[in-house]
Structure 1
């Protein structure tokens, strides 16, 4: 079911890792190494991917190399949104991938790339086709972000929310499907490249879209899916039941699962972007999830151990 485990999401982006707590990323590096070791212990041979970076920054990868993180992963990943947030043009995609490839021997994945329909749906259609032209053959995995628009009633997982101005609202319009499930013009174009380009879809706790999402992905011919299992969500009531339901629903795909998000009560600061008080606890979460969904040791909730407790 799981073809890869990704350690965190956009660790060099302040919307996902607080730079005031960890300005040189040394705490992140320590946590990532522990997680890499824990994943390998539970599922030897499972591909471990360093969380996709945004912005695409050679300095950050050099920093991870300096701290020894790259010795505990099997690939690195990048995220890019040149038509929405990045300060470079879409035609620079091959150059951006080459920059990272030039400083590491590891494969470079493109684990998130997308275009918002905030301005016009036709922009996404053009951007999808151009992205496919530029990135085919450039990376072992390319994941398009995303299948669904983010419901307007929810909040985007970003640091400053409405203070970002129109940049914030672009988060809500990244889907190939609108919030009501109706297709955008780019959906049909994506179907033509779905076997080559996977999809990213984050599922919230008890996400009502799960079954419909799976049906759409099968209809589109998607082979590769990237999603997340939230360490913070693991402390919710019946969290393991939800994780089982989510992963069982995705069983027919090759899944890259992203482990991320600090529980508020386990962070140095009470926020999902905080470095944890005890980094070993994140590694334990990674080990438990990997054992359950990739290591062949799926445990039942009757064992009496809550996610987040030492096992």
Structure 2
């Protein structure tokens, strides 16, 4: 069910990893090294992806490289949103990829999130889909469009300062190809010709009611590659494994990259999902357990592995 795993999400973004606690990323590096080794021990055929970085910063990759992280991952990943949050133009995508290739020449570079929102105008998003595909399809081995669905307005976007960020915050709610009410935007039609070559990144919240509809749309579009998440924090919720099982079973027809992230509050140095864990081995153990369950070296059917 899982062909690749991603260790964390945007670790150089303070909305996802707290630099006040780990200013030199040494705790992060230790955690990823342990996780990379643990996953390789369970199934060496699963591709290990370093959490997609945002901003795209070659010096950050060099820092992690110096701490041995690239020895324990197979792929380096980047995220970019040049028409919404980044201070560079969409046409710079090939150069941004090349910056990372230059400092990690032995690792493929995947674009694990790229998106353009419809916050300003839906026509801008149509342009963004088409231009992104022109620049990245064939340039990188994998690119994932963020996202299939708009984020519902009653939910919160995962950012540090929420509404205080102004329009930067509200843009998070307009990144989908399909509106919150389930109707397709013009960008969906623009994306469709590239669906078999440019994957989708879609987060599913705990017991997300959108899962069946997402699967139906992904199959209708002919999407092959899907990136999603299995939250370490959610693994401590009631019946978490049942939810994980249902999610992964629903996605079994796709080539799935599972992102492992979010520190459980009770296990963090500070009680927050961006905090380094007090014991990094616990994150590695979670990653290994998820790979053993959903991508074992000897495949087994999900129902025979048991639930709960």
Structures share fold, TM-score greater than 0.5: yes
**Partner secondary structure for residue 150 of structure 2:** coil
CA distance in 1, matches of 2:147, 2:268: 29
Deviations 1:68-125 (A, max 9, x none): 0000000000000000000100000000000000111100000000001111111000
Tell me which residue corresponds to 2:37: 37
Tell me which residue corresponds to 1:18: 18
Task: Report how far residue 301 of structure 1 moved.
Answer: 4.0
CA distance in 1, matches of 2:248, 2:122: 31
Task: Report how far residue 143 of structure 1 moved.
Answer: 0.2
Tell me which residue corresponds to 1:5: 5
Q: Does 1:117 align with 2:118?
A: yes
Tell me which residue corresponds to 1:233: 234
CA distance in 2, matches of 1:159, 1:42: 34
TM-score by length of 2: 0.97
CA distance in 2, matches of 1:133, 1:110: 14
Deviations 1:17-45 (A, max 9, x none): 00000000000000000000111111112
Tell me which residue corresponds to 1:74: 74
CA contact under 8 A between 2:112 and 2:144: conserved in structure 1?
yes
**Partner secondary structure for residue 112 of structure 1:** strand
1:77-96 map, 5 Å: 77-96=77-96
Q: Does 1:63 align with 2:63?
A: yes
CA distance in 1, matches of 2:204, 2:128: 24
Structure 2: tracts of 5 or more residues without a match: none
**Partner secondary structure for residue 117 of structure 2:** coil
Tell me which residue corresponds to 1:207: 208
CA distance in 2, matches of 1:214, 1:62: 38
Task: Report how far residue 300 of structure 1 moved.
Answer: 2.5
**Partner secondary structure for residue 192 of structure 1:** helix
Q: Does 1:167 align with 2:168?
A: yes
CA contact under 8 A between 2:245 and 2:307: conserved in structure 1?
no
CA distance in 1, matches of 2:146, 2:307: 32
Task: Report how far residue 282 of structure 1 moved.
Answer: 0.4
Deviations 1:51-79 (A, max 9, x none): 00000000110011000000000000000
Tell me which residue corresponds to 2:272: 271
Matched positions, count: 302
**Partner secondary structure for residue 97 of structure 2:** helix
CA distance in 1, matches of 2:182, 2:201: 16
1:127-206 map, 5 Å: 127-206=128-207
How big is the alpha-carbon RMSD for the aligned residues of Structure 1 and Structure 2?
0.9
TM-score by length of 1: 0.96
Deviations 1:227-270 (A, max 9, x none): 00000000000000000000000000000000000000100011
